[in-house]
Structure 1
């Protein structure tokens, strides 16, 4: 049972805030007009509670299609991966209601005589303003900066976009205020000083590497600030990496009913008793909701258990499912079904289900027992983990060219210790660069630190898989074209009978022509419906072979501004490559 159902306070706040649907309204609701409100600490808390509704929910974290980037294939393809996005008439992420609520609060919180409370909740509000604007610059680049409530006749409503560098400097001011004034209580559900530090490490890593790889300049100081924020949090000893049995500790973190406060800095809270639930089991295991599966390139990226590279093995891409999953980084078997997998509460093993996973690499991350399969999952969902902070620290130092073995020992080693994996060795990474990773990231910085940068990217991808961060990583590294490459699944030499887990029982039949007489407990896939890259001669499963994938470097790193907004404010300029007319 949940100990602190803070989320339900936030739901009440959301119900209040939902009355404000128009950015141009005078007040969110009449009862909250400034002459009647913002007088007590309790009123400040109640108002700022509504801001939490803007945090991502379970659907956005584990299922949002672009968010998973090139890690995941489904039976549908996002428009971002097809190059079929068009300029919308409205919407498209160009929404400002949340910002208006935040600015409305900040203009009126001074009415509270309790200065300590005011500073604390102002810190929360400014965290959320930074969070709001971070999302906007990731999505659109340059955006207009507003730090007050503007009325319809205010000329500021029709200003041009401010540069992302100007906006980012304002974001840093807000986050630094939050770091200085939010409380220091640990809570996975509430914003604290630690949340602000962790988020600063994330957004400065994004902005610093985006500027570096997109040639925007002024990136070094931003990466230094990412390092400093992460380092302050690390030195505080407030958080740690959750450890337990190495064969299940990683998975346990994501199936826990309540977010583990040792590692989860910020999480979305759920409960079966209210109920306030999500549908992770259903989305991952249903045959009617995308049939998500990990792609083979990511499976290939997991190291061997002894720290050696799987992709150095002869014919690594032609190994059977059983052979390719043996003696690997334990996080692989705690992220997807591998031989010997048992669902929670089950006494028998389960092989991958090809009816619900298009690649055959079927997720177990977030998956609870079968009683939750109908869309009633109640495990908390991660938004910011301490593991990410460690990865942010290591990557920022590597991109700056200042990383040392001691830095790796303070960061990457802790993640590998959880699963009893050997540590990353800096000298080896840089002297023995992985050609597989190098081919995966052609735009990586070519320097004396190339090898360790690539290894940290490997670690980040594996540790944070299915947490909604991958697409943003590709954007900042200028590797968006990776989403336009073919998505592959398991390798099969052709039609035949397959014992996937080698327990002497038939699991899968891939057949040609007429379907054979079906046996209980056996899966049947028709060759041609299950597409192998070389047809009858076998190969990797090809996801959606008839759909063209496309990425346009000149425009696809940003989203377009809706046409209605361009018409309402002629000073707004459309992002490069996007048309004002909706093409």
Structure 2
């Protein structure tokens, strides 16, 4: 079935014009105005197309142009953007955020106005009451989606219930609305939408806002607000957590199964038939496409994991690396090959496991040579993960990897030792992050082509499962049946032993954040591992009030033995030695031999400040509106 495209750049209703004088008021026949544009059901549907663009330009969760994915996970220090042109790329970690910066354009209410124009014109339209309720629900959903992001960034923000005109001086230059009211209004609007939106949206065969999409946003927002309130000592935390419990369970009942393959969520050409997909961004060849799959196979993507994040992944026995008997990566003599042995499969599907072939990076993949990447007599360990990945992957995700041209990728890790050592799928630390790779879309991105047709999920049931697990813990209700309904479904797909709730105690993971309860730590670990790359990290560490822990982790690259260094990585690389212990308390004996290379990998950032839990109000806005007050600490 041909997919319907909902992400259209709508030029509809760009501006409203009118003509007035003392004697005559009339509506132009050729110009769109509010009076002529909002009449029928189809008018509102067409206008709503322009609202969907917020999913393709979400600052929190999408691609940013300096060479990294998911800025929310980069800013949380889950991932790392080691771009040589910006060696202090995480400005929060390096304390380079100020209220005078012009880089934060998120204090912006244009989108709110755009939605409010639609809401303002519903009552006077010629639609039936049930149709009015549906489109009001759609508008309230989009307004809530935007306000959720504003609330997460700034706390108190001006609440605009209706269209603001030039004469509304008290509103234009008013004070911020309290967080309590903004959060309550978001909850109010989403609950209205849940009750009044068409259950299937614009029909059962379309990919539009419907009741389950509203519920998915409710689940996300209520977990955020409930835990924010709990860990920042605000009232009404339980109100939001209970709502998260209610709504998440409804969604789990509606989506009882998940996709068979973890990788399919982010590397499929068509998500319409994938279990657990609630809303997704559709792409069509030669119409609406994406450059991300090609980008991650070239030399311009610098996103990587670092050693602390890799260490969070469990071994296949369900134990952390500090206590698992399956872990082979401990000790200075262990190599990156050892480190990846017997780990959660989600690590392999987000961080390319190590291998070597007999090909150079300039060798094109052809039908004649696609299986000739190995020469008898080569070290068997160099092909271990090629064989392993081909065993656990389907035919669309085969190893060895290919670049966008497509050429063979000769080896992994590919260490970039300087800004001049360009090459495909390489970075400064060696833990190359990938998310969109598949072989089915080679035709679209080969020979210099830029675009592919990979769909992206916007809401999917895996996130809701983790929301439910976490809110149940926060409400004191997390037990083995809840673990089996949520976390253990995800683990089974990743070849990790099931969580045994009775085993989680103070000694389960000696490397955990000591401030966090052992069970909370395991639930949060699962959230990071399952959702990494989707960009939730920065808002997560803020709502947990644990930015200090994550920002104080020094990014380090892969560890290699001395015998491998010159041959495998080149002499330009720098490695951790015992001398580093004296200058950096975050480095331990276990880090000897890890790559530190260039840029921020050389030293630790300046850390986290408590007031970083909220963004600063831009100074330009404070100058324009004297009634705005700066967030605490940013003065």
TM-score scaled to structure 2, two decimals?
A: 0.77
**Residues 37-76 of structure 1 mapped to structure 2, 5 A cutoff:** 37-57=37-57, 60-61=61-62, 63-68=69-74, 69-76=76-83
Q: 1:308 to 1:169 in 2, by over 3 A?
A: same
Of the three residues 452, 475, 484, the one matched with 1:409 is 484
Specify the alignment match of 2:19 in structure 1.
none
- In the TM superposition, residue 65 of structure 1 has moved relative to its aligned partner by 2.8
Aligned mates of 2:265, 2:471 — CA distance in 1:
25
- In the TM superposition, residue 348 of structure 1 has moved relative to its aligned partner by 4.3
**Residues 132-147 of structure 1 mapped to structure 2, 5 A cutoff:** 132-147=146-161
Q: 1:477 to 1:423 in 2, by over 3 A?
A: same
Q: Which moved more, 1:529-538 or 1:92-101?
A: 529-538
- In the TM superposition, residue 530 of structure 1 has moved relative to its aligned partner by 3.9
Aligned mates of 2:315, 2:101 — CA distance in 1:
50
| Unaligned segments of structure 2, at least 5 residues | 17-26, 64-68, 84-88, 354-384, 402-410, 417-425, 581-590
**Residues 154-553 of structure 1 mapped to structure 2, 5 A cutoff:** 154=168, 155-185=170-200, 189-235=207-253, 237-238=254-255, 240-243=257-260, 249-260=261-272, 261-274=274-287, 276-289=288-301, 291-312=302-323, 313=327, 316=330, 318=332, 319-338=334-353, 339-340=385-386, 341=389, 344=396, 348=400, 350-355=411-416, 356-369=426-439, 372=445, 374-430=449-505, 432-439=507-514, 442=515, 444=516, 450-481=517-548, 482-494=550-562, 496-497=563-564, 510-511=565-566, 524-527=569-572, 529-532=573-576, 534=578, 538-542=592-596, 544-546=600-602, 549-553=605-609
**1:17–1:50 Cα contact (<8 Å) kept:** no
Of the three residues 92, 95, 102, the one matched with 1:83 is 95
- In the TM superposition, residue 335 of structure 1 has moved relative to its aligned partner by 1.9
Q: Secondary structure of the residue that 2:469 maps to in structure 1?
A: helix
Specify the alignment match of 2:112 in structure 1.
99
Aligned mates of 2:295, 2:571 — CA distance in 1:
24
Q: Secondary structure of the residue that 2:512 maps to in structure 1?
A: helix
**1:159–1:572 Cα contact (<8 Å) kept:** yes
Q: 1:230 to 1:277 in 2, by over 3 A?
A: same
Q: 1:71 to 1:574 in 2, by over 3 A?
A: same
**2:99–2:616 Cα contact (<8 Å) kept:** yes
Q: 1:300 to 1:89 in 2, by over 3 A?
A: closer
**1:533–1:541 Cα contact (<8 Å) kept:** no
Aligned mates of 2:399, 2:73 — CA distance in 1:
34
Q: Secondary structure of the residue that 2:230 maps to in structure 1?
A: helix
**2:413–2:432 Cα contact (<8 Å) kept:** yes
Specify the alignment match of 1:560 in structure 2.
616
Aligned mates of 1:114, 1:547 — CA distance in 2:
63
Q: Deviations over 1:240-280 (max 9, x none)?
A: 3111xxxxx11122211112542221222222332x22222
Q: Deviations over 1:522-543 (max 9, x none)?
A: 754324x444355799422236
Mapped pair 1:127 → 2:133:
no
Q: Deviations over 1:306-342 (max 9, x none)?
A: 2222222587364311112112122222222222156
Q: 1:199 to 1:52 in 2, by over 3 A?
A: same
Q: 1:48 to 1:535 in 2, by over 3 A?
A: same
Aligned mates of 2:413, 2:4 — CA distance in 1:
35
Q: 1:348 to 1:148 in 2, by over 3 A?
A: closer
Aligned mates of 2:8, 2:14 — CA distance in 1:
10
Q: Which moved more, 1:419-428 or 1:398-407?
A: 419-428
Mapped pair 1:4 → 2:3:
yes
TM-score scaled to structure 1, two decimals?
A: 0.84
Q: Which moved more, 1:67-76 or 1:202-211?
A: 67-76
- In the TM superposition, residue 116 of structure 1 has moved relative to its aligned partner by 2.1
Q: 1:470 to 1:414 in 2, by over 3 A?
A: same
- In the TM superposition, residue 416 of structure 1 has moved relative to its aligned partner by 1.7
Of the three residues 6, 9, 16, the one matched with 2:12 is 16
Q: Which moved more, 1:427-436 or 1:52-61?
A: 52-61
Q: 1:330 to 1:145 in 2, by over 3 A?
A: same
- In the TM superposition, residue 121 of structure 1 has moved relative to its aligned partner by 1.5
Aligned mates of 1:282, 1:73 — CA distance in 2:
20
Q: Secondary structure of the residue that 2:148 maps to in structure 1?
A: helix
Q: Secondary structure of the residue that 1:458 maps to in structure 2?
A: helix
Q: 1:470 to 1:188 in 2, by over 3 A?
A: farther
